[in-house]
Structure 1
């Protein structure tokens, strides 16, 4: 299987800007959920298309995508800007910083590349590690969100593969938005490419709790005091596929165990474990077992969870920005092993259920008192972090040449 970045050739780089007649606010203030993302990496997702129609030659495809991206940036204008940090002085001493998005229409990056020795099968081989060449499909791989001061907040790469397939990859600065925002953008781009219209425009008004107004002042005098560039060891990545039938069995098993426990305790408040909670519980227990922790060691499983539908009133599904938290379930390693999947899933279910409107608002009040920037070293190495969401419409987007292969 090919693995060398040298097999990928960059053919062209262009800057794509919104149309010159675009009108929008110049400054986008950031919420606590946004500012906290200064250290994490860009969101990196891509789709593989293997069924391009013969009537769509590559030069036309490139022109079409660049034109539609320009129109899409008119709607999602923060992505065409750059980050801006301003200093606040007390006398001649810098006492705080605040970060915002300067919506200056500098544009997004569009790269055309070729990897004609790489086939779609090299992606899709089941049971094998994700090949290292995949990182070369993402032009800002390794960048952190702080780099958006000078780098584009959005970078796109279309890579030609063997057999006429293409891989369309996006690097999306996590300060600008979360996974929901990413896929809303990606699907909007596809819709505009296909129909030249947009049915669900983004909502750009950033959300703040009552009594707290922007900007958020970070208690630092220089960005070096909160920026961390984490260099991971050599890692292996792999997809694990769970069939619909196996997930249904996991869910049934978890709910049956919960039902038995409730009957024994004469608990009238019935809990329903979701498929996602059952699968996450199984993975949590399996990783805990493989790590070989002593029984008394505390371990946690954190689920990235949306705030949009939990706030009262709820945010729009089209809210463009970050609106997520990671909610933890915690247990001793021995306790997690001794009890079944239903017990573990119940802990996750409780963490999700407890994430209410008031809980969200309380976390935000605490953030305004003591702002933080998330760093990799803040995360407990004994924990399991579950990101993304099965609810993202990542495989439904249609640019007009058929849906993705993966």
Structure 2
């Protein structure tokens, strides 16, 4: 039986937290990725294939491949960027004392614990002396801003692997098998400026038209179908005594299905405002497609549940409103599970925390799943359904710096 490694794993988690990696701090991201790669090397040795893919204004993405002893190939995906501005660590308050022990820190739950657990899970698998799959880690530094540069690397790596495991935090211990698709819509109203007192009739208010639009847009939401519409930002006008010539709104949309995505697009496009002199332009910014439990992922979930049963635990699954890089993989029809990382709470909040007593059991679960995946291969038919033209060697990724 594996001795208690909680202290060692937690030490690695805290070392990652102490390297602040805001999505918008390129020097901090670079230093954080260097530390993460060094940590993987310290625990696992040098990877057989290592690449660093430039982020083009975002955090770089590193891919590290460790060759296994059996034919199975697993992609372990995790982002090292966080939503927290650099400097947050200096005034972070520890969790309140009392009750179950917690550990807090910027990014500890979302998702630096998952990164450390992924590295240690492969170490435990190898140390056990049983079958080991080939594992490709993908560490990306732009997930919190939509993965604009890392998405093609994630999709390519997932297409080459038999299964993809995303090390995002769990839903109170449950893995995540369904996530909403996300979109950020920018709505611009362009009217006609005029003096609000001397010639109000000559003006066409962009603000008034935008107010009509956002009211109608809010009605597009369908809570029973899981569709939410949130108008989070509004800007417009130049002065209280000027009929506004321009106004903008930023709208967050979440959907569970492609059907709802198409409906939202159509209904927003069909909205009319009362003053025909005001032009409404909508930038449809869908970022992540909806993630659903496809047939391939259902097989993978069964395998994860069997691994949990090996340790006397039941593994639940959950559907959540947030999106992750797993959405991209699921949209290809490939097997993927998300939420295999931390148990805790407070993502993107000042009370972000993990339960340290779950660190070793969660890591052991992941190690058990890796062992089972050493001899697990996906159906070749998936390559046809997802449009993936075969699976090259794990090292066959786009050119990048080493």
Instruction: Provide the TM-score with structure 2 as the length reference.
Output: 0.25
Instruction: Provide the TM-score with structure 1 as the length reference.
Output: 0.25
